[in-house]
Amino acid sequence: MNSANEYTLRTQLERSNAVRSNIKKLYIYVVLVLIVAVFSVVKLGQVEFFGRGHFLSPDSIINLLRSAVPILTLSGAFTLLMISGYIDLSVGSAMSLSAVVFSWLILNGVSFLPAFLVTLVMGISLGFLNGLLVMKLRITPVIATLVTLNLFKGIALLIVPHGLSAIKGSATKLMPAWINDYARLDVLLGLPWAFYVAILVIVVLVIVQRKTILGKYAAAVGGNRTSAELSGINAVKLVWLLYIIVGFFAALAGMARASYMSLGDPLSGDGMELDCIIAVLLGGTAFSGGEGSVAKTIVGALIIVCLTTGLMTVIPAFWQTMAKGSVLIAAVVLNHLLVREKVKA
């Protein structure tokens, strides 16, 4: 092959790579805007733009953001773990268990701050257990966390008294009204404390991922664990710490859910692991780890929340499972096309 030919070939390749990386950078925002646009238009026939009941009405946006709090709180830490090449399928159950423990404590007369701290400590220990099983006892992450998924769910079901579906106030024992204060009370712009905590969490985690050693090391371990260890990173401790962080934020998310619903539902976190995985995959994090972005996961999380909320107004509830499954598969395919191909090129 002569050099001119080779040159054009290479420029073509570079150009297609550039196009692809631009698509990769931008597609997630386009998807978000498209989804919002579609749901706005679907409802447009009935009510005026930004009016009451419209997808883009202030009420509905505030509602949407409030219901987005758990996934916003959790998916950032989940991304860090996925960047390091590991996975935690137990986050949903950890959330449920935290919600149950938190509302059980409050129902039994513990005040907010102690209950909050105890639940956080419990979340940390759940993450610690996952880390122990995966990193120290070397059980495959998927299996270990799938079993703890059922373990945590089982414990949550055990705490709920027999015959009840959730921890909630009864005639003899009232749930204090202030359980709502954290995730429902209007603090600023109609949004509650939990939302601003979630924003703070996101900001911190974006900085952690981009600017700190923890973020760099996580990517290094995800890229190639052996070479990361050879260059002096203690992968066991690092990933263990990430599991603990995920457990911590799962507890935080669970409390937001419990405070929002003012009850502790042992099934309230079901499926959160799938939502997190979809958000992470939409955000372009490679499934095998090594690269990814917390900020984009958050956009992915917003996409899921918009879809779930939007679909609820358009299609019957029993279509939801199908819709979410299809979105998961679509996210995998998108991720595969955009992330994998780049590595190959």
Contact residues: other proteins, CB under 8 A: 87, 89, 133, 137, 139-140, 142-144, 146-148, 150-151, 153-155, 157-158, 162, 274, 277, 281, 287, 316-326, 328-329, 332-333, 336
In the complex with other proteins, the residue whose CB is nearer, 118 or 332, is: 332
Shortest distance, position 270 Cβ to other proteins, whole Å: 10
Name the burial class of residue 180, with classes exposed (0-12), middle (13-18) and buried (19+) by CB atoms within 10 angstroms of its CB: middle
Shortest distance, position 148 Cβ to other proteins, whole Å: 7
- What φ, ψ does residue 182 adopt, rounded to 5°? -70, -45
Query: What is the amino acid identity at position 64?
Result: L
In the complex with other proteins, the residue whose CB is nearer, 57 or 96, is: 96
Phi-psi region of 182 (alpha: psi -120 to 50; beta: other; left: phi over 0): alpha
Shortest distance, position 285 Cβ to other proteins, whole Å: 12
Shortest distance, position 118 Cβ to other proteins, whole Å: 21
In the complex with other proteins, the residue whose CB is nearer, 53 or 325, is: 325
Name the burial class of residue 228, with classes exposed (0-12), middle (13-18) and buried (19+) by CB atoms within 10 angstroms of its CB: buried
In the complex with other proteins, the residue whose CB is nearer, 9 or 322, is: 322
In the complex with other proteins, the residue whose CB is nearer, 93 or 262, is: 93
Tracing tokens 């009232």 back to the chain, one arrives at 174
Instruction: Indicate the DSSP class of residue 176.
Output: P
**DSSP H or E segment with residue 152:** helix 141-159
Round the CA-based radius of gyration of the chain to a whole number and report it: 22
In the complex with other proteins, the residue whose CB is nearer, 164 or 203, is: 164
Tell me the C-alpha distance between 172 and 175, whole Å: 10
User: Do the beta carbons of residue 50 and residue 269 sit within 8 Å?
Assistant: no
Shortest distance, position 73 Cβ to other proteins, whole Å: 22
Shortest distance, position 276 Cβ to other proteins, whole Å: 12
